Amino acid sequence: ARPWAPQGPGADPEGFSWFATGSRAPSTGDARRHAFTVLAHLLGPSPASLLYRRLRSQEGLVYAFYTWSRSYTETGAWRIMAGVENRNLRRAQEVVREVLLEVAGRGPDPEDLAVARRQAVTDLVTTAERPWDHAMALSQETGLGTRPWSLEGGIRALERVTAEQVRLAAVSVAERQLTVVRPEPA
């Protein structure tokens, strides 16, 4: 894989672009996936997240962004997608990288980790409250009925994620991070 490098602004310096950055994540059957889910919340669009505080509150670079981790049968994907004015595109990507490397280097602070775990649990619970989403989660989590899974077990797995596991998830993302910008840079 090629090393991570920020992508340049689109053709119009006054225009707007979206960038997506991320890497592979563990599969549904891999217990490490829960740390990637918590990392997504740690760097998510909530005002409580590390990335929100840097991108929006401190530097005012991004209008909207979303972070998520999705596990599939054989692999997974961890991603951030952000809408950015082209004049802020390079710096926004650098901030994402900086925050990711900070977490990879020292792990999350205990308070930030606790908030991210609570958000991950809340997301799981609200998914279970929507019948269609719950059915989809059950099919994915159980491998279409080939392994046991319960909402309570999913909650416990998220609550047990440690700072070191999140740090290692950040290391994994940072080592294999790819970025795409649309519209494509000139």
Domains in the chain, start-ordered, CATH in brackets? 16-182 (3.30.830.10)
- The closest alpha carbon to 182, from 10, 5, 6, 2, belongs to 10
- Name residue 18's beta-bridge partners: 83, 182
More confident residue, 182 or 10: 182
Give the β-pairing of 76-85 and 16-25.
Answer: antiparallel
Express each pLDDT in 42-89 by its tens digit.
999 999 999 999 999 999 999 899 999 999 889 999 999 999 999 999
pLDDT computed for residue 69 by the predictor: 95
What percent of the chain clears pLDDT 70, i.e. is strictly above it?
92
Q: Kindly report the average pLDDT of the chain as a whole number.
A: 90
Spatial separation of the C-alpha atoms in residues 51 and 116, rounded to whole Å: 12
pLDDT over 80 at 9, yes or no:
no
Tell me the backbone φ, ψ of residue 138, rounded to 5 degrees: -60, -45
